[in-house]
Each structure stands twice: as C-alpha cells, then as structure tokens.
Amino acid sequence: MPTGLLNGGGSLNMKDMTATILKRIGHSVITLFVISILIFIGVEALPGDLAESILGQNALPETVEAFRKELKLDLPPHVRYISWLGDFVQGDMGRSLSNHRPITDLIGWRLSNTLFLAAVAAMVAVPLAIILGILTALYRNTLFDRIVSMVSLSAISFPEFFIAYILIALLSVKLSLFPSIATMDGQMSLMDKLYTIVLPCLTLTMVVLAHMMRQTRAAIINVLATPYIEMALLKGVSRLRVVVVHAFPNALSPVINVVALNMAYLVAGVVIVEVVFVYPGLGQLLVDSVAKRDLPVVQASGLIFASVYIGLNLIADLLSIASNPRLRNPR
Amino acid sequence: MKNILNIKGLTIEGFNDNQWSTIVDGVDLTLARGEVLGLIGESGAGKSTIGLASMGYSRRGCRISSGSILFDGTELCQASDRVKQKIRGTRIAYVAQSAAASFNPAHRLIRQCTETRVRHGQLTAAQAEKEAIENYRRLLLPDPEGIGFRYPHQVSGGQLQRAMVAMAMACKPDIIVFDEPTTALDVTTQIEVLNAIKQITRHLGTAALYITHDLAVVSQLADRIMVLKNGRKVEENQTRKLLDTPGKSYTQKLLSVRSQRPIKKPVQLKQNVILEVNQVSAAYKKKELVLDTIDLTIRRGQTVALVGESGSGKSTLARAITGLLPPLSGEVIFQGNPLGASYRSRDRESLRKMQMIYQMPETALNPKQTIETAIGRPLSFYFGISGREKRKQVLEFLDRIELPASYINRYPGELSGGEKQRVCVARALAAKPELVICDEVTSALDNLVGEEILKLLQNLQNDLGVSYLFITHDLATVRAIADEVVVMLKGKIVEKGPRNKILNSPGHDYTKRLLNSVPKMNPDWLDDLLEKRKNTRSKKAA
Amino acid sequence: MSSLIKFIQKAPWSARIGIIILVMNIAVAAFAPVISPYGETEITGDVWEEMSLTHPLGTDHLGRDLLTRMIYGARNTIALALTITFLSFTLGTLGGFLAATLGGWCDTLLSRMVDLVLSFPTLIFALMVLSVAGTSILSLICVIAVLDATRVFRLARAVAMDIAVMDFVEAGRLRGEKTGWIILREILPNALPPLVAEFGLRFCFVFLFIACLSFLGLGIQPPTADWGSMVKENAGAITFGIFTPLWPAAAIALITVGVNLIVDWFLNLASGLKE
C-alpha cells in the first residue's frame, strides 16, 4: 500500500470520524427530546383531572376552572407540550403548585448548589478512583489489593445513607469536626461553603469512588493481560514505562467509559445525600415535590437532571472516541 | 566455541486446578553464538514456555522451580529485575506469534521499533529511526521510509510480522527467540517472513531459538533441532541428520505427517451428481461480492477439496450451500432438486442429507449436553429413534469413531480436542447424510491428531459412500484426502480438476505459487525457491 | 443435597460468610412472628430508649421495640425485594433471549426502548413515575421491576447473542430445530451461570433501591416495618448521639455485602478465574 493511498484514506476517514461524532450528538438530542415527551405524557396520563386531583373533590367549580386556566389544561396536549418546552428552553418553567412561586426562582440557586456539590465530589472521586484502580491492578493479589477490594465491595453494598450516618456519627457527633446539617446561603465564602459540604461530599465520594475504582481496576487488568504488554516487558521496558507509555493510552478509552457509567451513581447519590444533610439542592426539591405531588416542579427538575446526565454521558463518549487510538488514526 | 546460552535441568511449573503441575521437566539446552536451534513439538510440549524462560521470563501462573539459565555468564534464574531488564530487548529479543496483537495499537510502528535502542541510551531518536528504516529495507518491506509511521492496524499481517523481526534486530541482539512467527500467516505470506528471518540469522550471525510445530518450516532455518513432548526432550540432532535418520518413533511420526500417502482409488467420473452449485454469487451486507459466480459439482462417494487462503471465500461458499447465507443469485441443486436459498425454507429431509463438521470442536458441541445427547439428537430428530434403541445406536457410533463406550455419559469438557472432533464426525454421520461439508476440520488440531481424523473420515467414506466437500488451506491435507481439487482466490474459482493434475501440473499462476510456497521437509527448499524466484524476476526484467 | 454441601465446602471463606449471612436473614424473615418479642406495631416503651434487657436494641421514635421492628422489617423488605427481582428477571431474560434469537425488528424495538430507559438516571425515573402513580406497594413493584428488567435484558441479550453465534447453535439450526428447542436446550443451559450471578447482583440493587425510596419516604409506607423507612423515621436521633438509625442501615448493608460475596464467588467460578 503506497503512502499516498494511506493519506487519502486518512482524510476520507476524518469525515467518518466527524460523522460518528455528529451522530452521537444527534442521538443525545433525540433522546432528550423523547424523554421530554415522556415526562410530559407521564403527567398527562395521571388518572382523572389533574386540577381536581390536586385541589380535592370538594373544591368549588370556579376554583377548579381558574386552576385549569393557570395550568393551561384547557388547551389540547400537543399545543401545551410545545409551549411548555418552548418556555422551558427560554427559562420559564411555570409556577409551583404548592407555593405558586416561579419554578425558575425555586430551581435556580438549588441547581447551582447541586452542581457545586457534585462537581467537588467528582473532582475528588475521579482522580482518586483512577489512581487506586491503577495501583490495585498493578499490585493485584497483594494484601493491599485485597484490603482495597474488600473495602470497596462493602462500600458498594452499603446504602448511601448508611455511609452518611456513619460519617455523621463519627465526625460530627463524636468528634464534632464538621456540621451534620449542610445549610447554605448566598453570602458564604468559598471556604465556608467547602467546609459546610465536607460530609456530604465525603459520602458522595465514597459511593462513586468504590464503583469507579473496581471498574477501573478491571479495565486496566484487561489491558495488562494483552500480548503487547508482554512484548513491552520482553523488550526490557521498565515497569513504570510499561504502565505509563504502553498501558495507559490504551486504557484511557475504557476508563473514560467507566467514569461515564458511574455518573449515574453520582446523580442518584446526590439526591440521597441532599436529603440526609438537608442540603438545599435540586434533589431535595425533587423529593419534596414528589411527596407533595407538585408536578410542574417534578417535571422541570426531572428534565434538568436528565439533561445534565445525558450531557455528561455525551461528553464522556466523545472523549472516549477521541482517546481511542484506532478511531483517532483510522485505516 | 563458547555457548551464549546454557540451560540446565530447567523445570517449570504451572498453577492449574488449585495445584502446581509440571509444564517443563528437566530440559537441557545449549545455544552457540550464531547458531539456530529449532524447538519443535505439539501443543503442550512446553516449547513456548522454554523460549520465554530463556529470557528469564515466566508468564503469570507459571514459575521456574529449578534449573539454571546461563546467558553469557549471567545466571538469569537468580538475576534481579534490573539485570534482566537490561538484557531483554538489547541482548535477547523476542518475536511473538501474533504481531497484530503484540504491537501496541496506540503507537506508530517506528516508535516501538526504536524504543529499546533509544531507552537504553544507545542512539538518539533520529539515529534510531534512520537505522530502523534501514532494517525495513533489508527485510524487503514495501515503502521502508513510510511504513514505520503507520499504526499497527494500518499494516497487513505479514508486513507486521516482518516489522516485528525488524524490532527484534534493532539492538543487534545475541539471541532472538522466535515463537511460532509464521503460524498465523497464509503460506504465500509465510515465505516472505521466513526469508526475512533467514536474512538476519545468516547475515547478521544472530543466534536464535525457533519455536514451531511445523518440522518443514524449522528445517529451513535451524542448524539443530530439538524435539519436545509433554515438557520433556525427545531427541536432539543436526537438522539433516534428524530428518534423514530420526532416532525416536515420535520424531518419525512427526516426519511422516507431511509425506504423501499412496494414491487412493481412481476418480470415478461416471458417478451420479449429488450437489451442483450453479452460478452462485453472495455478499455480506450488500458490499462487494465475496462469492463471484461459483460453479461446482460433487459426485457420490467423492471428496472435493476446496483450497484457498484466508479471505478467498471458501468458508462463505459453505455457508451459501448450507443456506446460512442465502446467495444473491444462482442456485444450489441437490440430487436434481433445487434447494431453497435459506436453510429455513428447506425441508427436514434435505437438511438431513447435508451435514457439516466445523473447524473448532470446542464450539461445535454444546458443553451442557452429554455425548449421548449430541450423537443421539439427529437419531431421534430425523428417525424418531428413542430410548434403548437410541443408546444402542449411539454406542455403535462410538465404536465406529474408535472411542470407548464409557464416553457415552461424558460431557465435551472431559474430552480432548481430537476426541471432540470425532464426536462431531459421529453426530454428522448419525443423520445418514449424502454429503458432509468439512470446514477446516483439522486445522485447530495438532498434526498427529488431525492425521487420525483424516484417516477416520477416509475409512467412513469407504464404508458408507458419503461425499465430502473438504474446505482447507492446507495443501498437505488436500494431498491426503482429495479426489478433486478446487482452488479459490478472492471469491472466484481459479482452477479445478482431478487432484493429481492440479497438484502435479497446475495451470494457473496462483495455484503454482500456492503449491511451491508449501515448505518441504528439505533444508535446501527455501534457498532453492528464493534462488528460482530471483532468476525468474531477473529474466522478466530483462 | 449432599452434592450441594460438597459444593459449599469448596467455597472460599468470603463466600461462606456470605452464605451464613444470607441463611440467617432468610431464617429471621421466615420465622418473624415466632422469634420477635413484641407485635409489629405495638408501642411498648418510651421514645428512643437505650438498649436494655426488655428492649435489646432500644426503642424507636414512637416507642416501639426496635428489635421487633427489625425482624419484621427483614420479612417485609426481603419478600418485596425477592418478588421484584423475580419479576424483573423473568421479564428481562425473556425479552433478552427473544431479542437475541429472533433478531430483526423485535430486537431493534426492544433494544431502543431499553436504551431510552437506561439513558435516564434510574432513581430520577422512579421518582417521577411514583409522583404520578402514587406510592402504593403495587406501583413500587411495577416501577422497580420494569426499570430493573432493562438491565437484565441487556445482559441476557448479550449472553444469548454470544451463545447464538456458536457453532453448536448453528448446527441445531441447520438440523431444522425449532426456536423453542434452540432457546431452551442449546442457549439457556449455557447462559445460566452468568445469569445466576446477575440474579444476585440484581437482588442487591433492588434491595438498595427499595431502601433508598423508603428512606426518601416514597417506598413502603408506615406503619409497615421496613429497614429503609426505619432509618428515615429515626434519623433525628443521631444528632442526639443516639445511634438507633444505624441498626437498620447496618442490616441493609450486611445483607447486600453477604449477597455480593456469594456473587463474587459465582462470577469467579463462571469465568474460570482461579487466583
């Protein structure tokens, strides 16, 4: 095969690569769209009239009628869906049923709080998980590996709130190091904020860390078992170089996949952790609204959670494509 | 002459089923500077393990339990990791069986080829690259300046294997360990790699351990051959002496595998036609044709061998005939009746008359079914035989395939590869077929075991008069079993005819090339062939 | 039976611990009315009493005996988790096998639906459905079973696909066997080991999931005893230095650790990894 052909093939496949990426992005957009329809229909499918079921059987007909107007229930469903989605995209999410405040106001700073907590937890958990995963893979079947494996197996078996309450019992009640309730307000400095969220963040980190570390370890062991790693050892390459130069570039793509997969635990964990620590976040709001059946708020926060989750997965997939040597350098 | 490598009483154990068992049992081995020693044996002989041990390396789950490995005065058994690291790649290099798996997919070839040279501080990156390109040129790789800057998946298998030889010779090592470097390659590609290896062992004076199961291949390269079986040395001798006067019966057996057996019964042309393949074309997923207007005829009691290299479409033809891959055009006619394109549209009787034996006996038998179920199912499915009668007939079949009656209650996992393949033969024959399609039935087996399977198939044909369509890449197998030969290349039939005509006076260039690429048990074969090819090339140029 | 004992004798110590934990839990759940000192909803003391002879684990936020609540909680939670796991398993395996053997539009349709559900965090999905359907036991069972079935579907389909391309399945097809035989006799026996391990993992997941929902006040509703809701109800105690909520939380942790230990052993057996 002459080089010219190779270069030609390369540029041709650059197009394929772009196509793959565009396809992946399109896929996410469609998924999000379908989910928004599902969320909307889900509320529609509620048995009986929404207004009546919320106001109760004894409500005056005029009240019900006014309420229906407020919810735009007098319009046909597809019109309502389009206006709902249109408003949503523009930042108008309607009003809460329970306290009639604009949902955007309710959600705004709670979303930023949740993202703050999740981001801090991810920043601690992801690098730590990858480092521990690599170390346990390298020193597999040693005492160190067995202990870490045992601890992480327990951690994935524990419910999030168990870890949270153990931490509270130890670090807050017994040692009085950190607050057991994470109250936030807008005036707090970054350091104060960080101090406040130490326990929720620690809980979240432990949950995500355990899952991520176990899967990273498996991914790295897979790479270490390949013939090209044996070849590198037989070429007299040092152990460190084998790991850094020969194993890591190939492990990158599976490890990114692992990180993406574990975003689900981060999202679920954040809801529980917020409830335990009474943290003013989106998860807390969602749980409260579900209990109160405040459907517009549930719809809005559900869609936000979905968008964030799908967005994170998209980014991870794109990174994974970009880090795969075969995909990056096509035939 | 001082030996560069001196192995004494090497014993290696492997961890299996919760206990250590011996893989290599007290092997002694010496290698002089510039000498090539061939290690030959079938699977389980421990030859690869010895090859790796000579670099002071043992795989996970193995341990060198006793013995001494003396490399140029350094004892590798007790050497520290640092010492071994310094020797590996620079003084002893390794060439693995599968270059495609052994090159790191994340780096360009040249970076991997120069790694040892640069890392051990012998040359700068630029110097090493220049030298690597020189090596590519010496090994006759196409586009020596450019090929190194490709990634492994962008280069073909044969070229990758040569690039790996280039990588091994980068530091001009004292010894190179070749571990089955041509086993995964087609015969026509194999020649180029063998030539490359011959180049460096002869012209650079590098000593080598050449590990293979193929006696003909190793006799082209080795000065001396050591025969191994089950981790023990069987015998060791100069190549020519070993080939001419093998001392042990095991060596004799290995030698006789490749020799041609006496010509079978004369070809019976007037027999009635069983299968007619008429203008069949097929493709996967609407892409280019994998089969291009194939015509083929099989007569009763005959064996037609379908020969071709990987990607020639020979297995696809089997899938088209059985209806697993419905052809795009053309038809398959069985005993005068056109068969449905897909196996789903065929009736039970026509399915029964055509049976198949697969390449991998491991995946061809359901691991959760006993041998009785495996052989008995066609009996009950096609003939409604059940209970005691079925068991009786299964026992008869076991007798036919020369397996003890006690095997009837066993599961496939308790059988060896060859035994499993026998069960597959019995399962096919239990349907009382007219035609059996044998897809590479011996290529996953050791030579000696495969030989037994071929003999069994021949005996059964003599008794039962079934026809075989025998798909294979191995010309020695063709020689042994075929009445007629069909040669395929890139989805087309290039030549077909009676065996002796095709093998002795082939008409098509490709058939000629294929035939003379098969190594012979003659140490001068490779040199003669290369000499001949050089002459014809220079003649053509003139 | 004796072969089962022999099988267990070969198990590593970690798996044996898991088996002991599991057997104990099931025994407690089965004989709850016999071994519990008081009735399920009986108020027998003051709020959050310390451990004593009459109340071995103390009392809860309403003054009920915690040990009794724990024992009944085991019964309710384990029974519910098992029901859901069986349901989701049947659903997922059936769907997965059908998708793998039939292929075509059946496979495409099922896979797309599953992909959609999986592209959404499970907890959020469950919360939204429960907000609409209400928090009855029936809707709880349906929601978790369907959500969980999607994961079983993925695995069952992947495993069946791997087996369906094996030569012995092809040989069966070429023999003219019907789809039923192919699924039941050729594929299922070979798919069993990974599926059994998956059953354990799914059980853990379902168990934790119910506990989570109960903890959020959206799962099993009071006064039925359940470990998750017991943690929630008694959460306030912890700030007073009373560790009542840790008991049910630890019980949840213990049973999932036990099952995970057994699953690990099974996975090792199935993959033939003997270290």
- Smallest Cβ–Cβ distance between A165 and the set C123, C228, C246 belongs to C246
Which tokens hold the place of A323? 């880090």
**Quick one: closest CA in A to B52, which residue?**
A234
Query: So what's the pLDDT on residue B268?
Result: 57
Question: For chain A, what percent of residues have pLDDT higher than 90?
Answer: 5
CA separation for the pair A317, A309 (Å, rounded): 12
pLDDT at position B469 over 90: yes
- The rounded Cα B194 to chain-centroid distance in angstroms is 15
Q: Buried b vs exposed e over B417-443: b needs ≥16 C-beta within 10 Å?
A: bbbbbbbbbbbbbbbebbbbbbbbbbe
Mean pLDDT of A131-153: 86
Task: Provide the 10 A C-beta neighbour count for residue B270.
Answer: 5
Which helix (H) or strand (E) segment is B102 a member of? Answer: helix B99-102
Cβ contact (<8 Å) for B153 and A2? no
Cβ contact (<8 Å) for A329 and B90? no
Cβ contact (<8 Å) for A180 and C239? yes
CATH code for the part of the protein at C14-271: 1.10.3720.10
CA separation for the pair A262, C12 (Å, rounded): 29
Q: How does DSSP assign A279-328, residue by residue?
A: --SHHHHHHHHHHHT-HHHHHHHHHHHHHHHHHHHHHHHHHHHHH-HHHH
Distances in Å between the alpha carbon of B256 and those of A95, B80, B243, B480, B521? 89, 45, 10, 12, 10
**C-chain residues within 8 Å CB-CB of B363?**
166-168
DSSP classification of residue B201: H
- The rounded Cα B216 to chain-centroid distance in angstroms is 13
Pair B426, B378: CB distance under 8 Å: no
Which tokens hold the place of B56? 């002071």
Pair C72, C40: CB distance under 8 Å: yes
* Mutation for testing the A interface, residue in B57, B104, B211 having most A CBs under 10 Å: B104
Q: Helix, strand, or coil here: C50? A: coil
- Smallest Cβ–Cβ distance between C132 and the set A46, A168, A264 belongs to A46
Q: Which domains does chain A have, with CATH numbers?
A: 103-328 (1.10.3720.10)
Q: Which residues contact B519 (CB under 8 A, 6 or more apart)?
A: B187, B190, B194, B214, B216, B217, B219, B220, B525, B526
Which tokens hold the place of B30? 């010496």
CA separation for the pair B339, B332 (Å, rounded): 6
pLDDT at position A53 over 80: no
Q: Does C130 reach chain A within 8 Å, measured CB to CB?
A: yes
pLDDT tens for each residue of B484-525: 899 999 889 999 988 888 888 888 889 988 888 888 888 888
pLDDT at position B312 over 70: yes
**A-chain residues within 8 Å CB-CB of C264?**
153
Cβ contact (<8 Å) for A160 and C129? no
pLDDT tens for each residue of B23-62: 899 899 999 998 999 999 888 888 899 999 999 898 888 8
pLDDT at position A4 over 50: no
Mean pLDDT of B416-422: 91
Edge-first strand listing for the sheet containing B329-334: B291-299, B273-282, B329-334, B337-338
Question: Which chains have at least 3 CB atom pairs separated by less than 8 Å from chain B?
Answer: A, C
Which tokens hold the place of B439? 């897809």
DSSP classification of residue B335: T
Q: Which residues contact A253 (CB under 8 A, 6 or more apart)?
A: A320, A323, A324
pLDDT at position B344 over 80: yes
Query: So what's the pLDDT on residue C198?
Result: 83
Q: Does A289 reach chain B within 8 Å, measured CB to CB?
A: no
Query: So what's the pLDDT on residue B366?
Result: 92
Window 245-284 of A, Cβ < 8 Å to B: 245-246, 249-250
- Smallest Cβ–Cβ distance between A227 and the set B98, B106, B151 belongs to B98
**Nearest partner of C197 among C226, C233, C155, judged by Cα:** C155
CA separation for the pair A159, C228 (Å, rounded): 9
**Quick one: closest CA in B to C190, which residue?**
B368
Mean pLDDT of A250-266: 81
Question: Which chains have at least 3 CB atom pairs separated by less than 8 Å from chain C?
Answer: A, B
pLDDT at position A6 over 70: no
Pair A107, A84: CB distance under 8 Å: no
Angle at A24 between CA A23 and CA A28, to 5 degrees: 115
Query: So what's the pLDDT on residue A9?
Result: 37
Amino acid identity at A131 = I
Query: So what's the pLDDT on residue A51?
Result: 63
Mean pLDDT of A125-144: 87
Which pLDDT band holds residue B167 (cuts at 50, 70, 90)? very high
Which pLDDT band holds residue A3 (cuts at 50, 70, 90)? very low
Q: Which residue has the higher pLDDT, B255 or A5?
A: B255
Edge-first strand listing for the sheet containing B3-16: B19-32, B3-16, B62-71, B74-75
Query: So what's the pLDDT on residue A56?
Result: 63
- Smallest Cβ–Cβ distance between A236 and the set B52, B116, B142 belongs to B116
For chain C of 275 residues, list the mean pLDDT of each consecutive stretch of 10. Answer: 73 85 88 81 77 78 83 89 92 90 85 85 84 81 91 90 89 90 88 84 88 85 83 79 82 88 78 42
Least confident of B162-166, B426-430, B443-447, C241-245: C241-245
Pair A251, A168: CB distance under 8 Å: no
Average pLDDT of chain B?
88
Pairing mode, if any, of strands B484-489 and B303-307? parallel
Cβ contact (<8 Å) for A235 and B106? no
Which pLDDT band holds residue B262 (cuts at 50, 70, 90)? low
Mean pLDDT of B156-176: 89
pLDDT at position A71 over 70: no
- Smallest Cβ–Cβ distance between B348 and the set C166, C176, C274 belongs to C176
Cβ contact (<8 Å) for A235 and B101? no
Q: Which domains does chain B have, with CATH numbers?
A: 3-99+173-256 (3.40.50.300), 273-370+428-505 (3.40.50.300)
Query: So what's the pLDDT on residue A52?
Result: 62
Query: So what's the pLDDT on residue A168?
Result: 85
Pair C127, C185: CB distance under 8 Å: no
- Smallest Cβ–Cβ distance between B366 and the set C173, C186, C274 belongs to C186
Window 312-331 of A, Cβ < 8 Å to B: 325-326, 329, 331
pLDDT tens for each residue of A199-228: 899 999 988 888 888 888 888 888 888 899
pLDDT at position A1 over 50: no
Query: So what's the pLDDT on residue C273?
Result: 39
Query: So what's the pLDDT on residue C272?
Result: 46
**C-chain residues within 8 Å CB-CB of A313?**
119
> Could you tell me the end-to-end alpha-carbon distance of chain B, in angstroms, rounded to an integer?
46
**Nearest partner of C266 among C20, C92, C12, judged by Cα:** C12
Provide ipTM, 2 decimals.
Answer: 0.81
Pair A204, A118: CB distance under 8 Å: yes
What is the distance in angstroms between the Cα of B381 and the nearest Cα belonging to chain A?
Answer: 43
CA separation for the pair B436, B420 (Å, rounded): 17
Window 196-235 of A, Cβ < 8 Å to B: 226-228, 230-235
Task: Provide the 10 A C-beta neighbour count for residue B476.
Answer: 20
Residue boundaries of the structural domains of chain C? 14-271
pLDDT at position A321 over 90: no
Question: For chain A, what percent of residues have pLDDT higher than 70?
Answer: 86
A-to-B residue pairs, Cβ atoms closer than 8 angstroms: 86
Cβ contact (<8 Å) for C123 and A141? no
Query: So what's the pLDDT on residue A8?
Result: 34
Pair B3, B71: CB distance under 8 Å: no
Pair B284, B327: CB distance under 8 Å: no
Query: So what's the pLDDT on residue A36?
Result: 87
Cβ contact (<8 Å) for C170 and B324? yes
Which pLDDT band holds residue B260 (cuts at 50, 70, 90)? low
Residue with token string 């690039």? B163
What is the distance in angstroms between the Cα of B540 and the nearest Cα belonging to chain A?
Answer: 23
* Mutation for testing the A interface, residue in C129, C132, C146 having most A CBs under 10 Å: C132
Which tokens hold the place of A243? 């790991």
- Smallest Cβ–Cβ distance between B105 and the set A3, A236, A325 belongs to A325
Chain B residues interacting with chain A (CB cutoff of 8 angstroms): 52, 55, 57, 59, 81, 84-90, 93-94, 96, 98, 101-107, 115-116, 119-120, 142-143, 146, 150-151, 153-154, 156, 167
Cβ contact (<8 Å) for B351 and C174? yes
